[in-house]
Amino acid sequence: MKKTTYRGIEKKQARWGVAFVVPSVLFFCLFSFYPIINAMFTSLFDKRILSLAAPKFLGLGNYIYIFKSASFWNSMRATLVFTLGTFIPLLVFSLMFATFIYNICGRRSRGFFQIAYYTPAVLSSVVAAAIWLLILAPPGLGNQVLNWLCRTPGVDRKWLANGTMLQFSTMLVYFWKYIGYFVILFITGLATIPPTIYEAATIDGSSKWQSFWRITVPLLKPTILLVSVMAMLQCLKTFSTQYLFTQSGGAAQDPINVITLNIYETGIRNQRIGRASAMSIVLFVIMLVLTFAQFKISKSDDVDY
Amino acid sequence: MTDKTIASNRSSGLLFALKRVPWARILIWFLLIVMLVFCVMPLVFMVTASMMPASDIIKMPYRWIPRDFHVENYVKAIKGNDGSFTFPRNILNSLIVALTVAFTTVLLASLTGYGLAKFRFRGRNFVFMMIMATMMIPFEAIMIPLYMVATGLHIQNTYLGLILPFLVSAFGVFQMRQYLLTFPGEFLDAARVDGMGEIGIFTKIVLPNCTPVIATLGILSFRGQWDNLLWPLLIVQDEKMKTIPLYISKFAEEKATDEGAMMAVAVLASIPMFILFFALSKYFIGGAAVYESRKG
Amino acid sequence: MKKAIIILTIVALIAPMALFAQGSKEASGPITIKFWTHEDVNRNPLELQYIAEFEAANPNVKVEYTTQASGKMADIVQTAFAANQGPTIFNLPISDEYAYIVNGRVAPVDAKAAGYADYQAIKSAYVDGTLDSVTVDGKIYGLPLELTNWAILLNKGIFRDAGLDPNKDYPKTWEDMVAVSEKIIQRDGDIITRRGFDFRYGYYLEWLVPMVEQLGGKLISDDGKTAIVGDDAWLKVLTFMQQWGPNGKNLGSSTYTAARKLFNKNNGDIAMALTGYYQTARISEENPEFYASGDLMVIPFPQFKDAVKEVANCYYGHFYMVNAQASKAEQEAAWKLIGYLLSHGDEYLDKAALPQPTKKLFESPEYKAKPYTDVFSADMEKAHIMYYSENSAEMQKLLKSAVESVMLSGVSPEKALATLKASAQELIDEN
């Protein structure tokens, strides 16, 4: 840092900057860094949640154990499937619908669609799960609507029973919940692209399809980056849908035993807090790496208008 | 897919006649409406089911129009299965917690975001990176150590216990910082030349220019707390201090709860969120990603 | 920059320490008892009334009585104990409570405070063997709030509707259960609209293990060294479950509404459910018409046709326990309160249908005269307590995963058994 260039005023200002930042920093120290450092420390021990005795030091034993355990890899698979299966459709469909709404609708219907698509996000996850469990139960609306559309009365689609369908169901609920939010994000992004650019492109003779790929997508890059990072982190951290589906819906756990659910089960139900901490640290590192990768990739060619 | 149809129509030129009929438009409207039905149908189900006796809800086929308003569902939802009427108090708790968190998040996040965006000091980038890193911490990972911090402060069964761990969010800081990065520094310098204090500049110049992003952040934080299940579950045991998600999940587990009453609770618990959402939708829809719009 | 990092790290580490430095203060003056129990509409008001009486008689004691959703209770109590902030009094099923005893988290019964002369007096007050699960090294660590086993509740109306005579055609074997269910079941295509019977999914240690034992299998060998004994028995039970599920005869599954919940409504959705005696109190409260109609019947836990041993559904206990970290005075007051509560065994039975296994109660003519208790008592004779150990929650999960994989995910019983065997063995080898 350029220590010598600080002059009186700048030094004074720097102090104000520090003063503005300090309250939050203290907060994060206490409620984020301390717990995560504590979790890192715990992950090195065979700590049982109820035990009062000093836990046995395992070194990297917990990490070695989880990397050998089938249940951990099953969770990695479940998390990966869920993340890819949710975040790619979310990205594609929200961009698609945002483009539709932005280009086709008038001002009023644009607002209407945005609000309507967003309403599911207003419900809390407990409520959303309660609704969807009724819809996806065998005699529920899910089977009825699909059978009505496909003209196949009486077929049970096994939304919560069949492993593949169950994974699809959790993705569906997530998609339903977040599509509106991302559509809104993209519409706001689209609104920032100056219309003159499109006009120029039309004069150049490019089709709408071409201008979408050549103008809209590159200029939307910051939004796409933001949406993809956010959606990805959210998907990796998903917990409540899977938790409520298995707790109150009678759904099988193995197909949707995502990593956070596994952490909760291992740490709380099975009392192995050391092993659970090791899993959390692995998840933390994965998220850090993926986020940095996404930022790195996108930073290499920043957009200019 | 649809864009492809547009493209092929345009580029081939052979189907010139077809272009007269706005197929693409019709298709797009159709898709928009399909999506609309998908988004809204579960909500319509929730509202209609809340007015029906349980036997009608799990019957096939589902009757979309309730025979009559089955008020018992709502009575049961508010009274509780044991008739203790904790529902109003729990709603109030949720409101208190969510509003306080929304307020502190906006205040602290804008303060920090402003400090990080507009001041230069040693370790600034480091602080920013560290705050960003906290976004990657899964809550389940730090649940137990966090609980130990909270019990160390003796704040179980208090509003403070519900609020303190969520005073400010890393995402909020990030959002405010990004927004304020593009805030013209000349305004600030001009104010300083006029002899305005730093706190004055923050409250009189910075904050008023951030209303859209503040509204967004406020709603998101409010929503986050309205939805929070895991932390209140751990920190609050006293009925009087429970929040709405706890009430719902307990209600759902009780043997005497049927599907109708469950949906009635769902409707009641969603009302405050809907009111807030529709009242502020103007800000929200325009400003969900407002900091980007300033770049244009 | 470097300096900033160092300072920040130090702050990050020290700030929380400062918090804990206060430490815990020894309570003086009035004693506060934190009492956590699960939600039970019939029992909670009763206990609140006793607590009010107790507080009136002991003005220096204040009781904070809070109820939790039963499904979340174990997690909440555990987290609180992990932070050394556990409640003074709590109760959980014995399978969850045992870990608290082993880890020294709960205090032995204060016999005097609880109203007994000594441990011998406690032991002789309760039915033989009912305190074994909470007795370690001669010390008793809990007193039972309830000791419950499950049998099958039957709705005669639905039997008659299906052309069956409930008194004659009720299922005695698991094979009967399938046959009877097939007669009662109604479907719309593949979707079941009326079930004959359905299991209580998630509680496999309670009912699946006895089914295996009927065929000569075991969860754990007698020497405690081998898990999942008797492949044939396990295979047969897992195959039975596979056949029961949507990929087999499609007679029921965990994704339908829980049987015991539908049963109370008498809406023609389900004819039989596996549940405890307490359910009869819930029915008389929730659906008095059904209760009074005389259509309710209780039948014993079925046996396999080729069973080698008669085994009924396991019983389990909920025991009141006291936090070992509470101060001496708190512990004493807590046991005094528990003793006072449990002295009302007859009312627990009357108002909440919770049988407390005291000799006085179990041998009383009032208990025997109560409707339906005969079947439960007879089944209890053929049952043993459910598997309890430090890792019983984990064992329950392994069984759950095995049953779900054969019933729902289409895994073959052989493969599910192999997985179950390996993971259960690993679990018991660890301890």
Tokens of B25: 């438009």
Residue A301 has pLDDT above 50, yes or no: no
Instruction: Check: CB of residue C48 under 8 Å from CB of residue C66.
Output: no
The owner of tokens 């059978």 is A147
Structure tokens at B148: 């130990």
Task: State the nearest Cα–Cα gap between C77 and chain B, in angstroms.
Answer: 9
Chain B contacts in chain C segment 198-227 (CB below 8 A): none
pLDDT of residue A224: 83
Q: Is A228 part of any domain?
A: yes
Contact residues, chain C, for A270 at CB < 8 Å: 391, 393-394, 397
Please answer yes or no on whether C44 and B149 come within 8 Å at the CB atom. Answer: no
- Residue of C70, C14, C77, C11 lying closest to C39 (CA atoms): C70
Pairs from B91-95 (Cβ < 8 Å, separation ≥ 24): B91/B244, B91/B268, B91/B269, B91/B272, B93/B159, B93/B162, B93/B240, B93/B241, B93/B242, B93/B243, B93/B244, B94/B225, B94/B226, B94/B243, B94/B244, B94/B245, B94/B272, B95/B272
Q: What's the pLDDT band for B16 if we cut at 50, 70, 90?
A: low
Q: Please give the share of chain C, as a percent, with pLDDT higher than 90.
A: 75
Q: For residue C218, what pLDDT band results from cuts at 50, 70 and 90?
A: very high
In this structure, the strands spanning C31-38 and C61-68 are parallel
User: Burial, B63: exposed, middle or buried (Cβ in 10 Å; 0-12, 13-18, 19+)?
Assistant: exposed
Dihedral (CA of C423, C424, C428, C429) sign:
negative
Spacing of C-alpha A55 from chain mean position: 34
Paired strand residues for C323: C106
- pLDDT at site B286: 55
Q: Do C8 and B127 touch (CB under 8 A)?
A: yes
Q: Determine the average pLDDT of the residues in C399-424.
A: 94
- Over 80: is that where the pLDDT of C234 sits? yes
Give the tens place of pLDDT for each residue, B239-257.
Answer: 889 999 989 888 887 777 7
Crossing angle of helices A163-191 and A240-248, in 10° steps, is 150
Quickly tell me which residue has 């009010």 as its tokens. Answer: C52
Rounded to whole angstroms, how far apart are CA atoms C153 and C272? 5
Average pLDDT over residues C208-233: 95
Of C85, C188, C191, which has the smallest distance from its Cβ to B151's Cβ?
C85
pLDDT category of residue C252 using cuts at 50, 70 and 90: very high
CA distance B97 to A208: 48
The string of pLDDT tens digits covering residues B156-179 is 889 999 999 999 999 899 888 888
Nearest to A30 among C16, C189, C407 (CB): C16
Instruction: Reduce the DSSP state of residue C196 to 3 states and report it.
Output: strand
**What is the spatial distance between Cα B22 and Cα A82, in angstroms, rounded to a whole number?**
37
Q: What is the pLDDT of residues B183-242, one digit of tens each?
A: 888 888 888 888 888 888 888 888 888 887 888 888 889 988 998 888 998 888 888 899
CA-nearest residue to C76 within chain A is: A268
Which residue of chain B is at minimal alpha-carbon distance from C268? B55
Q: What's the complex ipTM?
A: 0.86
For chain A, what is the mean pLDDT? Answer: 86
Look at the pTM and tell me if it is higher than 0.80: yes
The C-alpha angle C409, C415, C419, rounded to 5 degrees, equals 95
CB C348 within 8 A of CB C361: no
pLDDT digits (tens, 9 = 90+) for C5-59: 555 555 555 554 554 444 444 445 789 999 999 988 889 999 999 999 999 999 9
Could B82 and C20 be called an inter-chain contact, meaning their C-beta atoms sit closer than 8 Å? no
Backbone φ, ψ for residue B103 (5° rounding): -65, -50
**pLDDT given at position C7:** 59
pLDDT at site A78: 96
Neighboring chains of C (3 or more beta-carbon pairs < 8 A) = A, B
Give the distance from residue A260's alpha carbon to the nearest chain B alpha carbon, in angstroms: 6
Residues in chain A: 305
Contact B244, B226 (CB under 8 A): yes
- Per-residue confidence (pLDDT) for residue B292, from 0 to 100: 40
Residues 6+ apart with CB under 8 A from C218: C212, C228, C229, C230
Q: What is the distance in angstroms between the Cα of B6 and the nearest Cα belonging to chain C?
A: 42
C187 contacts chain B (CB < 8 A):
no
Distances (CA, A) of A61 to A64, A74, A273, C351: 5, 20, 13, 52
In a domain, A2, yes or no: no
Shortest CA distance from C41: residue in chain B? B82
The mean pLDDT value of chain C amounts to 90
**C368 with A244: CB under 8 angstroms?**
no
Identify residue C374 by its one-letter amino acid code. Answer: D
The CATH number for A266's domain is 1.10.3720.10
- A89 domain residue, yes or no: yes
**Range from A193-202, A242-251, B280-289, C272-281 that averages highest in pLDDT:** C272-281
- Segment C377-406 shows an average pLDDT of 93
Mean pLDDT of A216-236: 82
Average pLDDT over residues A197-205: 78
pLDDT tens digits, B98-112: 999 999 999 999 999
CATH number assigned to the domain covering B87-293 = 1.10.3720.10
Instruction: Specify the pLDDT at position A174.
Output: 93
CB C411 within 8 A of CB C180: no
DSSP string, C107-170: EPP-TTTTT-SSHHHHHHHBPTTTTGGGEETTEE--EEEEEEEEEEEEEHHHHHHTT--HHHHS
Q: Does the distance separating the beta carbons of C82 and B122 come in below 8 Å?
A: no
**Interchain contact C188–B (C-beta under 8 A):** yes
pLDDT for position A303: 42
Task: Please determine, for residue B8, whether its predicted confidence score (pLDDT) is greater than 90.
Answer: no
Nearest chain A alpha carbon to C4: A18
Residue in this structure with the two tokens 């700590």, named with its chain if needed:
A47
**Cα separation, B95 vs B273, whole angstroms:** 10
Give the mean pLDDT of A116-141. Answer: 90
Reduced to 3 states (helix: H, G, I; strand: E, B; else coil), residue C274 is strand
Q: Report the phi/psi class of residue C49: left, alpha or beta, with left for phi > 0 and alpha for psi in -120 to 50.
A: alpha
Task: Provide the 10 A C-beta neighbour count for residue B14.
Answer: 9
pLDDT tens, position by position, A146-166: 999 998 888 888 899 888 999
pLDDT value of position C77? 92
Distance CA B41, CA B49 (A): 12
Query: Which residue in C24, C58, C85 sits closest to C340, CA to CA?
Result: C58
Structure tokens at C310: 């008669």
Q: What is the pairing mode between strands C139-140 and C61-68?
A: unpaired
Residue A280 lies in a domain: yes
pLDDT over 70 percentage in chain B: 88
Instruction: Report the C-alpha gap between C155 and C152 in whole angstroms.
Output: 10
CB contact set of A154 (below 8 Å; sequence gap of 6+): A147, C187, C188, C189, C190, C191
Domains, chain C, ordered by start: 31-147+316-381 (3.40.190.10), 149-314+388-430 (3.40.190.10)
Nearest residue in A to B104, CA atom: A24
User: Is residue A278 a part of any domain in this protein?
Assistant: yes
Higher pLDDT, C180 or C13: C180
What 8-state DSSP symbol labels residue A213?
A: I
Chain B interface test: which of A11, A15, A96, A122 (most B C-beta within 10 Å): A122
Q: Cα separation of A27 and A197, whole Å?
A: 45
Closest residue, chain A, to B245 (C-alpha): A126
What six digits make up the tokens of A93?
């469909």
pLDDT of residue C6: 57
pLDDT at A2: 44
**Within a domain: A1:** no
Task: Find the domain containing A210 and state its range.
Answer: 48-299
Predicted confidence at residue C68, as pLDDT, reads 85
How far is the first Cα of chain B from the last one, in angstroms, to the nearest whole number?
A: 29
Contact assessment for residue C182 and residue C378, using Cβ atoms and an 8 Å cutoff: no
Residue type, C337: L
pLDDT in tens, A259-282: 999 998 898 888 898 999 999 999
Q: What pLDDT digit, counting tens, does each position of B83-101 carry?
A: 778 899 999 999 999 999 9
Cα separation, C159 vs C295, whole angstroms: 10
Which chains pack against B, by 3+ Cβ pairs within 8 A? A, C
Which positions 241-280 of C are in contact with B (Cβ < 8 Å)?
Answer: 257, 260-261, 264-265, 267, 269
DSSP conformation class of B207: G
Q: Suggest the residue from A3, A83, A124 to mutate for an interface test with chain B (most B CBs closer than 10 A).
A: A124
Counting Cα atoms < 13 Å in the Cβ hemisphere of A226 gives 22
Residue A30 lies in a domain: no
- Which tens digit of pLDDT belongs to each residue from C304-347? 999 999 999 999 999 999 999 999 999 999 999 999 999 999 99
- The total number of structural domains that make up chain A: 1
- pLDDT per residue over A92-111, tens digit each? 999 999 989 888 877 778 88
- Chains in contact with A, where contact means 3 or more Cβ–Cβ distances below 8 Å, are B, C
